[in-house]
Chain A
Amino acid sequence: MSYQQARWIEPLIFELSKPGRVGSSLPGKPRGRINVPKELLREKLELPELSEPEVVRHYTRLSQMNYGVDSGFYPLGSCTMKYNPKVCEELAALETASCIHPHQAEETVQGALELMYRLGRFLAEIAGVARVSLQPSAGAHGEFIAMLLTRAYHKSGRDDKRDRVIVPDSAHGTNPASAAMAGYEVVTVPSNARGRVDLKALKAAVSERTAALMLTNPNTLGLFEDQIIDIAEVIHDAGGLLFYDGANLNGILGKTRPGDMGFDIVHFNLHKTFATPHGGGGPGAGPIGVQKELEKFLPVPVVEYDRKRKRYYFDYNRPHSIGKIKGFYGNFGVLVKAYAYLLLMGAEGLNEVTEAAVLNANYIMHKLLGVKGYELKFDASGPCKHEVVFSTESLKLETGVTARDVAKRLLDHGIHAPTYYFPPIVPEALMIEPTETEPREELDHFVDALNTIAQEARSNPEKLRSAPTTTAIGKLDEAKASREPILSWGAHRKSAKK
């Protein structure tokens, strides 16, 4: 093993605090009177008091005990943890992007409006839809808006008996959650032996009460739903809509489009497919695209262009709109980064993104198929798309070592764990998504590590189970961590008192 993460014995910043120490001098008491009601006034702020170098060292040390795409391979399936180009960050940090205010007059932010207008057009072209709203602030928010649009659509056709949304059993949990939150009953349909939607079950599930089907394609097994045309027909014939969950768009960019497959509503995860940071690295964005017949329901405002006056503007005059769904206009900084990424890549580049992402996943799949202890649970006759789901069930039966143990041991090799125990239809699942930004050496390193771990499971399972040992923090009591989270200084003090 050639990995060792930094391990600082670093107190909390509050514990480092010394009375009177400052990093910058704050102005004294404000002059004049501030009209704050008494009950909202605080006696003490209880901010930590430190010098600037102390603060810098503290956070530098913490960052060294962290792990991200910038420090190594991050094959977290379904999350598309691709590298985030630094130039996109720089552009988003420009004053013209980061220092504008949503209350500014439209004529003073024409550039920002143009950027949003053009980004919407790009995304519409990529997905094969008529129009895009950039407002949803994350993936699940986008899904939820899709459900609200579905309801508005059926209601406008006086078809409001439709109260069921169909979701495959391989779907992300956010799908049923979004549908339920929008007031729909969720009907799960099972996958067939090929890991695709079971068409017979789907036909049994549809009725005059079907509002929509939510589908991810490629699905969470990394497999392309090759019966998508038939699926679309079943849903449309029943009068329902097709929603495309964009989680796995990285597997088809430039090759095919959800719109061409028959989808009516599409959502995007800019923080996955279009390389904006995520996973604690910043807010996401979940734009939503629709076909022509749903356009009028999109949330307000929509960025429009007035050709005569050569001016971009927010259009609020949309009587059929589902209304406002977010303060202001979306996570603008994220939109800037995604727009920069699209310009950086161009159409050709996006094609290559998908080719490399799919090639990388298939490379791992084929290499790993030769390793005893890892196997595919669904038909492996064809290629996978951008990700592949292995099962370590046979390794568990042979050695008692679980998928979670394998995932944790990978950390000792300096590799972020894949998604594990998801999707739930695969026992002892390891969901691996390398993304296009990894070179072959990283992929080989990953496969070698899994190979070593499988051997170790047979020779020294005890040691394996104690992993990780080379990371800043070792094995956690996950149950305790989720039952009794201590996420703030206040909570920490309270628990210490106990």
Chain B
Amino acid sequence: MKKLGLIVNPIAGMGGRVGLKGTGGADIIAKALELGAEPVSPARAVETLRSLKRAGVKFELITYPAEMGAAEASEAGLEVQVIGHITSGKTTAEDTKRAAREMLEKDVDLILLAGGDGTMSDIIKAIGTQVPILGIPTGVKMHSAAFANTPQTAGEVVARFLSEGLPLREAEVMDIDEEAYRENRLVAKLKGYVRVPYEPVMMQATKEGSTGYELADQKAIARWVIELMERGHIYALGPGTTTRAVAEELGIYNSTLLGVDLLQDYKLVARDVNEQQLLKAIGKKSATIIVSPIGRQGFIVGRGNQQLSPAVVRRVGKENVWVLATPHKLRATPTLKVDTDDAELDREFRGYIRVITGYRQTCMVKVV
């Protein structure tokens, strides 16, 4: 029988309704409560658990006490094994991290997490990507791709994962600087990748160009990108698993997942470069930027890859920015965005852009 770990961050999402743009930090929680914020996360977790229960799958549920999972599980009518200790009403990020570590020890097959970007980042800090995770969307900020679209679909995906097994894909975990965000500046950082179960798009196989499987589609994209590459040219490979597949297809296994690497003549020439190093390396050579949309919101330049600054993009030229995305990813982010700190450049990107979606396959996608 498979084991499911459940972690509920009971305060996630409280800041949103009262306009606080996130709920990180004790003073903000106090302020949220003062403004009359009510917990949203537990109710959403219950919704997911009910949808999971409806599917009638047998599994072992392990969770943390009270509002961190036990209460939600009992409300949804699920039997549960409770581990750990918390001070109810005063949970912190440390509790989330400890819960994740203890669930790792318990050998759970999947952690179901009710929270937002911040909670997801806490889990990565604690246990890395050792256990697959699926997020129930309950936070204020949801830039990470590791969340299901709705609490209900989260339940359905978990049910299928537990009963028949679903493939895993790597999804971005993003978090933004909440303080900057409250000052209306958005600095989104790519924190890492977690493995997330996903449903291959269900359709008659013969009628779709894509295989519906992320890894196969990424490989197809990589092969086409490599065919398009020219000698002497500099290629700046942005963060992400789709771009990493290009490096791997070239036999390069030490590319940086979260940074920007430089390729020339099919070889890695520099790892994890910053803006200045990028500009210097490119110099007067012709160059191409290869990126993949980040997170659920489809940012191609500016968020999660700030090294690709307006100066770098202008030097390379907008027409030399190659965007890669699997059909599965494009379905989740039907429009793309840019946020480069340079309004003029952002404007130039607006309209339709050709996105490489497979081997000799491209798709016109709107940049808004």
Q: Do A and B bind each other?
A: yes
| Chain A residues near B (Cβ < 8 Å) | 169, 172-174, 176-177, 180, 184-190, 200-202, 204-205, 397, 400, 404, 419, 421-424, 461-462, 479, 482
Given A187-B364, A205-B364, does the pair A422, B150 have CB atoms closer than 8 Å?
no
Q: Determine how close the nearest CB of chain A comes to the CB of B262; give it in whole angstroms.
A: 26
Contact between chains at A422 and B204 (CB < 8 Å): yes
Please, how many angstroms separate the alpha-carbon atoms of A422 and B206 in the complex? 11
Q: Determine how close the nearest CB of chain B comes to the CB of A481; give it in whole angstroms.
A: 12
Select B204's contact among A184, A200, A419, beta carbons within 8 Å.
A419
B207 to chain A: which residues have CB within 8 Å?
A: 172-174, 422-424
B residues 310-368 near A (Cβ < 8 Å) are 331, 334, 351-352, 354, 357, 359-366
Contact between chains at A462 and B56 (CB < 8 Å): yes
B352 to chain A: which residues have CB within 8 Å?
A: 200-201, 204-205
Contact between chains at A421 and B354 (CB < 8 Å): no
What is the chain A residue whose CB lies nearest that of B354?
Answer: A187
Q: Is B178 an interface residue (CB 8 A)?
A: no
Q: Is B129 an interface residue (CB 8 A)?
A: no
Q: List 19 A-B contacts (CB under 8 A).
A: A174-B206, A185-B362, A186-B209, A186-B361, A186-B362, A187-B362, A188-B363, A189-B364, A190-B363, A190-B366, A201-B364, A201-B366, A202-B364, A205-B352, A205-B354, A397-B150, A400-B54, A419-B204, A421-B204
What is the chain B residue whose CB lies nearest that of A461?
Answer: B54
Q: Determine how close the nearest CB of chain A comes to the CB of B48; give it in whole angstroms.
A: 12
Please, how many angstroms separate the alpha-carbon atoms of A225 and B148 in the complex? 35
Q: Determine how close the nearest CB of chain B comes to the CB of A173; give it in whole angstroms.
A: 4
Classify the interface of chain B: helix, strand, loop or mixed. mixed
Q: Determine how close the nearest CB of chain A comes to the CB of B288; give it in whole angstroms.
A: 17
Please, how many angstroms separate the alpha-carbon atoms of A200 and B334 in the complex? 16
Q: Determine how close the nearest CB of chain A comes to the CB of B46; give it in whole angstroms.
A: 15
What is the chain A residue whose CB lies nearest that of B209?
Answer: A176
Task: Output the residue of A172, A176, A424 with the most chain B CB within 10 A.
Answer: A424
Q: Is B201 an interface residue (CB 8 A)?
A: yes
Q: Is B208 an interface residue (CB 8 A)?
A: yes
Please, how many angstroms separate the alpha-carbon atoms of A482 and B202 in the complex? 13
Given contacts A201-B364, A424-B207, 12 further A-B contacts (CB under 8 A): A173-B206, A180-B360, A185-B361, A186-B209, A186-B360, A190-B334, A397-B150, A400-B152, A404-B202, A421-B204, A423-B207, A424-B208
B209 to chain A: which residues have CB within 8 Å?
A: 173, 176-177, 186, 188
Please, how many angstroms separate the alpha-carbon atoms of A201 and B51 in the complex? 39
Q: Determine how close the nearest CB of chain A comes to the CB of B149; give it in whole angstroms.
A: 10
Contact between chains at B152 and A397 (CB < 8 Å): yes
Please, how many angstroms separate the alpha-carbon atoms of A486 and B220 in the complex? 28
What is the chain A residue whose CB lies nearest that of B331?
Answer: A424
Contact between chains at A421 and B361 (CB < 8 Å): no
Please, how many angstroms separate the alpha-carbon atoms of A190 and B357 in the complex? 13
Contact between chains at B203 and A422 (CB < 8 Å): yes
Q: Determine how close the nearest CB of chain A comes to the CB of B150; give it in whole angstroms.
A: 7
Please, how many angstroms separate the alpha-carbon atoms of A419 and B55 in the complex? 24
Q: Is B175 an interface residue (CB 8 A)?
A: no
What is the chain A residue whose CB lies nearest that of B353?
Answer: A204
Q: Is B156 an interface residue (CB 8 A)?
A: yes
Please, how many angstroms separate the alpha-carbon atoms of A187 and B201 in the complex? 21
Please, how many angstroms separate the alpha-carbon atoms of A204 and B51 in the complex? 43
Q: Is B164 an interface residue (CB 8 A)?
A: yes
A188 to chain B: which residues have CB within 8 Å?
A: 209, 357, 361-364
B51 to chain A: which residues have CB within 8 Å?
A: 400
Q: Determine how close the nearest CB of chain B comes to the CB of A216; give it in whole angstroms.
A: 12
A177 to chain B: which residues have CB within 8 Å?
A: 209
Please, how many angstroms separate the alpha-carbon atoms of A221 and B24 in the complex? 46
Please, how many angstroms separate the alpha-carbon atoms of A188 and B360 in the complex? 11
Q: Is B26 an interface residue (CB 8 A)?
A: no
Q: Is B1 an interface residue (CB 8 A)?
A: no
Please, how many angstroms separate the alpha-carbon atoms of A190 and B56 in the complex? 38
Please, how many angstroms separate the alpha-carbon atoms of A185 and B152 in the complex? 39
Please, how many angstroms separate the alpha-carbon atoms of A421 and B205 in the complex? 10
Q: Determine how close the nearest CB of chain B comes to the CB of A284; give it in whole angstroms.
A: 14
Please, how many angstroms separate the alpha-carbon atoms of A462 and B55 in the complex? 8
B205 to chain A: which residues have CB within 8 Å?
A: 482
Q: Determine how close the nearest CB of chain B comes to the CB of A402; give it in whole angstroms.
A: 8
Q: Determine how close the nearest CB of chain B comes to the CB of A408; give it in whole angstroms.
A: 13
What is the chain A residue whose CB lies nearest that of B204?
Answer: A422
B351 to chain A: which residues have CB within 8 Å?
A: 200, 204
B366 to chain A: which residues have CB within 8 Å?
A: 190, 201
B164 to chain A: which residues have CB within 8 Å?
A: 479
Given A176-B209, A188-B362, A201-B364, does the pair A424, B201 have CB atoms closer than 8 Å?
yes
B365 to chain A: which residues have CB within 8 Å?
A: 190
What is the chain A residue whose CB lies nearest that of B357?
Answer: A188
Please, how many angstroms separate the alpha-carbon atoms of A19 and B151 in the complex? 62
A184 to chain B: which residues have CB within 8 Å?
A: 360
What is the chain B residue whose CB lies nearest that of A173?
Answer: B207
B residues 203-232 near A (Cβ < 8 Å) are 203-209
A173 to chain B: which residues have CB within 8 Å?
A: 206-209
Please, how many angstroms separate the alpha-carbon atoms of A205 and B201 in the complex? 26
Q: Determine how close the nearest CB of chain A comes to the CB of B358; give it in whole angstroms.
A: 8
Q: Determine how close the nearest CB of chain B comes to the CB of A387; give it in whole angstroms.
A: 14
B208 to chain A: which residues have CB within 8 Å?
A: 173, 422, 424
Q: Determine how close the nearest CB of chain B comes to the CB of A3; give it in whole angstroms.
A: 24
Q: Determine how close the nearest CB of chain B comes to the CB of A394; give it in whole angstroms.
A: 12
Please, how many angstroms separate the alpha-carbon atoms of A187 and B356 in the complex? 9
What is the chain B residue whose CB lies nearest that of A205?
Answer: B364
Contact between chains at A204 and B364 (CB < 8 Å): yes
Q: Determine how close the nearest CB of chain B comes to the CB of A151; give it in whole angstroms.
A: 15
Select A190's contact among B201, B360, B364, beta carbons within 8 Å.
B364
Please, how many angstroms separate the alpha-carbon atoms of A450 and B331 in the complex? 28
A200 to chain B: which residues have CB within 8 Å?
A: 351-352
Please, how many angstroms separate the alpha-carbon atoms of A180 and B220 in the complex? 13
Select A185's contact among B55, B56, B360, beta carbons within 8 Å.
B360
Among all A-B residue pairs, the 4 with the closest Cβ atoms: A204-B352, A421-B203, A188-B363, A173-B207
